[in-house]
Structure 1
Amino acid sequence: MDEHTRDPGVAPPLGTPAGWRPIRREWEHATLRRATEHAVRLHNDAAYLDAYDCVKYEWYNYGDGTRESKFCHGLQQAIAARHKHDVDVPEGARSLARTARKYLQDTPADFYGLDVGGLRDTLAEVESEPDAFDGFRLVLDGEPVTAYPADYAFADDLP
């Protein structure tokens, strides 16, 4: 683990997703889990710019081509695609969904607790029909979680 991505205050998952080290009882990159939690909750609350920023600043922790970098980039693109859908820019939603799916194609289906498999399936649908985003919510640890004030505070504290 890179020391700069360590955070002993990040809670363990409900299951054993990729990124969790069950024998050591720690996240490979705890700050990635923290950023993912906040981004998913904010996305599901339609706070797309805040959700995007949570992932953007975490993305800087990883080198180009790493699975963590690709995951962050793909999640950013997926969040941006959803935003484009909600502001009625269907071509933008399609294009960003296509890019997001490419970045996420080799990501484990349950990476850091995010249902990446379900997200990839939805992104594939959005490529042909942006309205597939209607009612879509990201799933973390098996639940479509919602935002708390702490999620907004985390985003507000980003540089």
Structure 2
Amino acid sequence: MSDHTRDDAVAPPTTGSPTGWDRERMASNGWAHGTLRRATLHGVRLYNAGDYHAAHDCFEAEWYNYGSGTTESAFCHGMVQVAAGAYKHVDFDDQAGLRSLFDTARQYLAGVPDDFYGVDVRDVRATLATALQDPGEIEGWRITLDGTRPDATERDYAYAERVE
């Protein structure tokens, strides 16, 4: 962890032991990159609320903290593509745009661990694969984080406004 990704205010996972967290690590309450966990919390909640543009902004702002070739960069880039693809589908009825973005997202997320910073990446990859065949499959789909599918709060929207 570097100091620019440290965030001691971010809480440990509510369940499990996802990749990126270690109960023995003191900094960032056990997170290798506390800022990544914070961006993930807000980004997933906003995605689940259907605010794909704000979710995109959360992941994109964090993505710039990591060099290319890192798992963290691949995860953030993949989640940016997921949010952008959903945005294309829902707001513009652009199925070709969804397919292009989801195909790229699958490539970025291919090497990311199944439970990364609390996100059920296995489910994300499976949903992307299904949506490539039938884009309507993402309607109502919500991303799982720490075993739940959380909703956005005012704090999530405030975070997204700060990073956009």
TM-score class, shorter-chain normalisation, is: over 0.9
Following superposition, the deviation at residue 144 of structure 1 comes to: 0.7
Match of 2:31 among 13, 27, 31: 27
Structure 2: stretches of 5+ with no match in the other structure: none
Distance in 1 between residues matched to 2:101 and 2:64, nearest whole Å: 20
Runs of 4+ off more than 3 Å: none
Q: List runs of 5+ in structure 1 lacking aligned partners.
A: none
Q: CA deviation at 1:85?
A: 1.6
Separation in 1, partners of 2:136, 2:163 = 31
Deviations 1:4-47 (A, max 9, x none): 10011000002100000122251000100000000000011111
Matches within 5 A, 1:52-131: 52-87=56-91, 88-131=93-136
SS in 2 for 1:20: coil
Distance 1:34 1:113 in 2: 11
**For 1:57 and 1:155, how far apart are their aligned partners in 2?**
9
Distance in structure 2 (CA, Å) of the matches to 1:157 and 1:33: 16
Superposed CA offset, 1:74-132 (max 9, x none): 00001111111212111111111110000000000110000100000000011111111
Q: 40, 43, 48: which one pairs with 2:52?
A: 48
TM-score between the two structures when normalised by the length of structure 1: 0.97
Alignment root-mean-square deviation, CA = 0.9
